[in-house]
Amino acid sequence: MNILLKSFKNAYNTAPFSQIKNKDFLPAITSLIEDTKAEIDNITSNPETPTFENTIEALEFTGEQLDRVTNIFFNLNSAETNDEIQKIAQEVSPLLSEFGNDITLNEALFKRVKTVYDNKSNLSLNGEQIMLLDKSYKSFSRNGANLAEDKKETLRAIDKDLSKSSLSFGEHVLAETNAFEMHITNEEDLSGLPEGAKEAAKQLAESKDKAGWLITLDYPSYIPFMTYADNRELRKKLAIAFGKKGFHNNEFDNQDIILNIVKKRFERANLLGYKTHANFVLEERMAKTPETVINFLNELLEKAKPAAKEEFKKLEDFAKALDGIDRLEKWDSGYYSEKLKQKLFDLDDEKLKPYFKLENVTQGAFKIAGKLYGLHFEEIDNIDKYHQDVLTYKVTNNSGDLVSIFYADFFPRAGKRNGAWMTSYKSQSIKNGENNRPHVSIVCNFTKPTKSKPSLLTFNEVTTLFHEFGHALHGMLANTTYPGLSGTSVYWDFVELPSQVMENWCYEKEALELFATHYETGEVIPMELVAKIKESSTFNEGMQTLRQISFGLLDMSWHGQDPTNFINVKAQELKALENTKLYPDVTENCMSTSFSHIFQGGYSSGYYSYKWAEVLDADAFEYFKAAGIFNSEVATKFKDNVLSQGGTVDPMTLYKQFRGQEPQPEALLRRAGLIK
């Protein structure tokens, strides 16, 4: 019997990774689609008058096993993929896309949903039920339920095409990342590189039976080389390779895929009655319209650009004085920024890393969650994992009740895409009086331990871990009835609030003292280093803000206008980035062809949400700081009004219930040092 077709009868009902074979996925998903269709047929054939319970609630709880299996499959495709899984993904994605259309274009089902929706003022529904009803109705109306039959078929074809194109985009980026290696045999070429990075590069070379050192495009290899390597030509080589992903005119080129994706998204939006893809997406965001997003980004640009230009000039002057560099290039950015930061603040990431042993930072995040939200994390070994590097935890509250199962996957490998993300293997929900607790995971790409050193994090990696852990808390502390409104199932320009607000604790003395201890001596991080971390937190903030704005504007340029006449990806990108440009363009490079957030992930027309949520998180943390960063009253208000509520209430309402007021943008500008 296919293990995926049964409920998982094991400790905590977790995914039985060790028993799953790749060949199980396609038949299981195909079978579970048919089972779910039968569940939907039961709803549509019900002779009783449509009610919230027999239609909306019944629909919400259909396909539970299908959801679990597809969550497992696509999470593995991101974190532990191989050729076989990628091939299955290309078969499975169109099936799921078609099935999604089968639901939203099911006239009998929509008729029942619409009957309940049209009668909602006469129903005694609570706030969460009203939100689910609205979301259910919109999932039909926004996805073609009101279209004529011929247009429904067009929509099906577009959705099938888009699901395959996004998959191919991600596969190409991963293939390009894995294909590049910079093999170094002369140790002088590693001048400036910290010993830990050199040791990791040597260990990687040894693992591939090569002499010398290997540098790759994986972040733990790429970032240290770009930050510390004195050899400018090799930095250039590496930077160009990184920027060329998907832009090679080879079998992994993403240019045609991008043009196809944006044109199909536009066609889909038009078909559904929207001006652009961004208009379609933003209708269900806090921002509501492309104009609001573009105005928001341009207002930030106006504040940040003078500071960014001033910072860039200082960096240029510094590089010229230090090394006679006449023109600062993109491959000089990390290197000279680090040198200037060391000079201005006497702060070197390499001096900090011994205080940020991965295990200690992880325990620090757990301790902070304990102080704020009463959570306890116990590492357990009685549940399956998909790779030996994965750590598994049982999370409980002060009463000893199970809150969540938590997976942590920290190191890069060939089958894992770059970056960091939070995901879920099982959503939280309440059914038949039972509160089903979630299974949450964070996935990162940190430097692996070497023969002589544990995994030591840069400060940027510390904030990355806290960021993803903030998302995880949003998933773990979910306490809603319906899975579709649970945890991170919120507007995408609100979803970054719990993650970004967690980063703030990394800068606070009280929090750092809990976990920042030297991995050899046990010494707590010296307070002068803490002071320097805080002092340097706004270093080059104008340039960093400009960079984030540029990504948001690039996203909107692809999705906020008619792309029908777009023929050249690079030309369109240059036009979009014109007002945010600091460094000279690199002809061989293109950002868009590996911009996975918007072409593979769910951030199309939503990349602005990082900056949008920064306004919320800066304002929220000012509230925490005013009361004390571990103040239980403020923490409880944040847990009760934000972390546990998911998408059951409008996000601005939730925020005001927590904060007592709308967010003040000045808080972000103050934190960034852009206003006093």
Just list the catalytic residues.
468
Q: How far is CA 622 from the centre of its chain?
A: 24
DSSP assigned state of 614? H
What is the crossing angle of helices 290-323 and 541-559, to 10°? 140
Please state, in angstroms and as integers, the Cα–Cα distance from residue 484 to each residue in 133, 404, 425, 510, 572, following that order. 11, 17, 14, 37, 37
623 phi, psi to nearest 5 deg: -65, -45
Tally the residues of the chain: 676
User: Do residues 152 and 146 make contact, with C-beta atoms less than 8 angstroms apart?
Assistant: no
3-state secondary structure of 423: strand
Strands (E), 380-515: 391-396, 402-409, 421-426, 429-431, 434-436, 439-443
Whole-angstrom Cα Rg for the chain = 25
What sign for the dihedral angle of Cα 508, 514, 519, 521? positive
**Cβ within 8 Å of residue 659, ≥6 positions away:** 619, 620, 623
Exposed, middle or buried by CB within 10 Å (0-12, 13-18, 19+), for 194?
middle
Block residue for tokens 């690199």: 586
Q: Give all strands (DSSP E) within 195-239, no chain letters.
A: 213-216
**Side chain identity at 3, as an amino acid letter?**
I
Residue pointed to by tokens 């096993």: 65
Instruction: Give dist(CA 325, CA 101) in Å, integer.
Output: 57
459 φ, ψ (degrees, to nearest 5): -65, -35
Q: Distance between CA 16 and CA 283 in Å, rounded?
A: 39
| Cβ contacts of 188 within 8 Å, gap of 6 or more | none
Residue closest to 18 by CA, chosen among 385, 416, 441, 379: 385
DSSP letters spanning 302-340: HHHHHHHHHHHHHHHHHHHHHH--SS--GGGHHHHHHHH
8-state DSSP, 663 = P
Instruction: Evaluate whether 162 touches 268 at the Cβ level (below 8 Å).
Output: yes
φ and ψ at 391, to 5 degrees?
-105, 145
Dihedral sign from CA coordinates of 223, 227, 228, 230:
positive
Dig out the tokens for 365 from the structure: 């995040």
In the block, which residue shows the tokens 């960093």?
A: 544
Which residues neighbour 308 within 8 Å (Cβ) at sequence distance 6 or greater?
542, 543, 545, 546, 582
Residues ≥6 apart with Cβ < 8 Å to 600: 166, 167, 169, 170, 173
Q: What is the DSSP string of 262-305?
A: HHHHHHHHHHTT-SSHHHHHHTTSSS-SHHHHHHHHHHHHHHHH
Is the Cβ–Cβ distance between 285 and 604 less than 8 Å? no
Question: HEC string of 436-455?
Answer: ECCEEEEECCCCCCCCCCCC
d(C-alpha 498, C-alpha 487), whole Å:
11
